[in-house]
């Protein structure tokens, strides 16, 4: 009963966010981005949105060339640490000069250029300029930090509320069943009752981290963190290393010298099994990345229908209805992907730590 009401609260919350999202995106497109109305421009706009960015832009006016948002610190390693504000780039329109070095933004990436900001391209339209190591606090890093603070407040608060009494109060009542859900439905069935405790911290952190980021991706803030390959690679690597480092003897035996098969098969199986340990986290990272990216692309494309349509009065309601429909599905996907990532992580860990006493 409680689980249902929790789901309902989240559904309502997310619906509100989604509707805000729609309004905001419409406003963004309709009023401010008057120039984005051809197919190639829409493609570029969507691609731009999917990428990380060096400043936190809330909306921009394409015609006037104004951007509302705030700049973020750029940190480069280029023969020494270079730290400056991203406002120097003026959203990629100007060349930033730092310590007699010139940098320019091109498609969300920082290149070293000359004073005029010339960027040379090869035949595949890839910039050939030198790319300095970029450790900037980008929009995604800021979002991650916000999520960290949010999670710390939420679950720190929940932890604190247990000091006062056995039952949590306020928002903790929503969070507690979710924590129990992760423990009872994800961790214990896959890892087992005796061993699950050690991995609960990672599973809970990853579950809520991905879920909150997925939900934030549906807000009009226009962030796309879990749809960024670097993020999913990092998350999957965590799962990979935790799995390998907590694996027991039987797990390694099954990989390097599979018991119960002929010697020749053992030799054949070894590379396959070693590759298998890598494909598991690879599937994790691609699944999360692809699902979230696809969701963002579909929603933005549906909204873009309004601007490419010949008959705007017919297309607008159709596009809105479709967008709402897909948004609701995306809401489910936001949870589902967090669940699947955590579930599979737990499964892989479970496989690595389980006792093979059935041989």
Residues 6+ apart with CB under 8 A from 358: none
- Judged by beta carbon, residue 165 or residue 260, the one nearer other proteins is 165
User: Based on the number of CB atoms within 10 Å of its own CB, is 193 exposed (0-12), middle (13-18) or buried (19 or more)?
Assistant: exposed
DSSP string, 237-258: HHHHHHHHHH--HHHHHHHHS-
- Judged by beta carbon, residue 204 or residue 284, the one nearer other proteins is 204
Whether 249 and 355 have beta carbons less than 8 Å apart is answered as no
Give CA separation, 252 vs 12, 240, 300, 356, in Å.
Answer: 47, 14, 46, 12
- Judged by beta carbon, residue 167 or residue 321, the one nearer other proteins is 167
Residues 6+ apart with CB under 8 A from 233: 285
d(CA 214, CA 216): 5
Whether 168 and 175 have beta carbons less than 8 Å apart is answered as yes
- Judged by beta carbon, residue 29 or residue 196, the one nearer other proteins is 196
User: Based on the number of CB atoms within 10 Å of its own CB, is 143 exposed (0-12), middle (13-18) or buried (19 or more)?
Assistant: buried
Shortest spacing between CB 106 and other proteins, in angstroms: 12
- Judged by beta carbon, residue 35 or residue 197, the one nearer other proteins is 197
- Judged by beta carbon, residue 295 or residue 323, the one nearer other proteins is 295
Shortest spacing between CB 160 and other proteins, in angstroms: 8
Shortest spacing between CB 4 and other proteins, in angstroms: 20
- Judged by beta carbon, residue 79 or residue 166, the one nearer other proteins is 166
CA atoms within 13 A on the CB side of 32: 15
Shortest spacing between CB 140 and other proteins, in angstroms: 6
d(CA 165, CA 16): 33
d(CA 217, CA 295): 10
Shortest spacing between CB 159 and other proteins, in angstroms: 4
Element (H, E) at 113: strand 109-113
Shortest spacing between CB 179 and other proteins, in angstroms: 6
Shortest spacing between CB 117 and other proteins, in angstroms: 21
d(CA 29, CA 69): 16
- Judged by beta carbon, residue 137 or residue 270, the one nearer other proteins is 137
What is the binding site for other proteins (CB under 8 A)?
51-52, 75, 126, 133-138, 140-141, 144-145, 148, 151-152, 155-156, 158-160, 162-163, 166, 176, 179-180, 183, 197, 200-202, 204-205, 209, 228-231, 233-235, 237-238
Shortest spacing between CB 132 and other proteins, in angstroms: 10
DSSP code for 122: -
């Amino acid at each position: 009963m409680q689980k249902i009401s929790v789901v309902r609260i989240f559904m309502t919350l997310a619906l509100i966010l989604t509707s805000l999202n729609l309004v905001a995106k419409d406003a963004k497109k309709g009023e401010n981005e008057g120039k984005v109305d051809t197919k190639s421009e829409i493609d570029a706009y969507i691609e731009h949105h999917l990428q990380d960015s060096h400043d936190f832009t809330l909306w921009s006016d394409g015609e006037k060339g104004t951007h509302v948002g705030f700049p973020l610190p750029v940190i480069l390693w280029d023969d020494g640490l270079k730290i400056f504000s991203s406002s120097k780039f003026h959203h990629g329109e100007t060349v930033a000069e730092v310590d007699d070095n010139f940098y320019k933004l091109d498609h969300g990436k920082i290149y070293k250029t000359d004073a005029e900001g010339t960027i040379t391209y090869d035949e595949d339209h890839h910039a050939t300029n030198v790319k300095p190591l970029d450790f900037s606090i980008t929009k995604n890093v800021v979002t991650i930090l916000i999520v960290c603070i949010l999670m710390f407040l939420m679950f720190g608060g929940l932890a604190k509320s247990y000091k006062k009494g056995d039952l949590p109060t306020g928002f903790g009542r929503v969070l507690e069943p979710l924590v129990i859900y992760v423990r009872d439905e994800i961790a214990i069935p896959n890892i087992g009752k005796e061993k699950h405790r050690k991995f609960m911290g990672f599973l809970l952190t990853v579950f809520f981290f991905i879920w909150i980021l997925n939900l934030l991706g549906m807000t009009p803030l226009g962030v796309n963190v879990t749809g960024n390959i670097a993020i999913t690679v990092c998350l999957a690597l965590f799962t990979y290393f935790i799995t390998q480092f907590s694996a027991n003897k039987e797990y390694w035996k099954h990989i390097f010298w599979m018991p119960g098969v002929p010697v020749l098969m053992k030799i054949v199986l070894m590379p396959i099994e070693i590759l298998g340990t890598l494909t598991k986290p690879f599937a994790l990272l691609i699944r999360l990345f692809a699902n979230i990216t696809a969701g963002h692309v579909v929603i933005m494309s549906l909204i873009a229908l309004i601007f490419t349509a010949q008959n705007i009065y017919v297309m607008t309601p159709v596009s809105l209805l479709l967008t709402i429909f897909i948004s609701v599905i995306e809401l489910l996907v936001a949870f589902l992907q967090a669940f699947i990532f955590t579930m599979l992580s737990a499964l892989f860990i479970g496989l690595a730590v389980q006792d093979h006493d059935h041989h």
